[in-house]
Amino acid sequence: MTNLQPQALVDAAVAAMARAYAPYSHFRVGAALLAADGRIFCGCNIENASYPVTICAERAALSAAVSAGVREFAALAVVGGHEGVLGEICTPCGICRQAIAEFCAPDMPVYLGHAEGFKTLTLGELLPYSFSLMEDKKI
Ligand code: THU
């Protein structure tokens, strides 16, 4: 069951953003990964007093899914904003793009929520020429 409306996935990311732990940057991020079987795995950013220990929302969602045995995905939604207020789109950082590319196809849609709705990009648009050691994913 993957015929979920994109806005529903964005809404799940917004709900996840409310659980962000961001006392240092005050920038809250939420991510929702739609698995091929229809389940949704969410993540939020979890900051740390030792700043580099911080985990981004996208990798938190990916960790939740993979830890549950899920490795096939249909879509991703990401939202973020200062104190959780949506303004412009919040694009995944480079590390998260590479992490997502390990499991997701270049044509997978990524919905980036903003104050007025959401923008749709593909993972391949966000990270062209991603690094891979998998022969079948080589460009
Ligand atoms: N952050 C994410 O959660 N995802 C991204 O792709 C970019 C940045 C978080 C990390 C940190 O807690 C805050 O946003 C500010 O950088």
Q: How far is the CA of 46 from the centre of ligand 1 (A)?
A: 9
56, 58, 96: which to mutate for ligand 1, most atoms within 8 A of CB?
56
As given in the structure block, the two tokens for residue 94 are: 């480079």
User: pTM here?
Assistant: 0.96
Closest ligand 1 atom to Cα of 47: 12
State whether the beta carbon of 126 lies less than 6 angstroms from ligand 1. no
pLDDT per residue over 84-137, tens digit each? 999 999 999 999 999 999 999 999 999 999 999 999 999 999 999 999 998 777
Pick from 128, 72, 73, 119: nearest CA to 98: 128
pLDDT at 83 over 80: yes
Residue type, 19: R
19, 21, 26, 27: which to mutate for ligand 1, most atoms within 8 A of CB?
27
State whether the beta carbon of 115 lies less than 6 angstroms from ligand 1. no
d(CA 121, CA 69): 26
Residue type, 25: S
Tell the residue nearest (CA) to atom 4 of ligand 1: 56
As given in the structure block, the two tokens for residue 21 are: 């732990």
Helix axes 6-17, 57-67, angle to 10 degrees: 110
d(CA 73, CA 48): 29
Active-site positions read 58
User: With contact defined as beta carbons under 8 Å apart, do 34 and 74 qualify?
Assistant: yes
d(CA 24, CA 73): 31
CA distances from 49 to 16, 18, 46, 59, 133 (A): 21, 20, 10, 19, 34
pLDDT per residue over 42-59, tens digit each? 999 999 999 999 999 999
As given in the structure block, the two tokens for residue 139 are: 């460009």
Average pLDDT rounded to a whole number, residues 24-47: 98
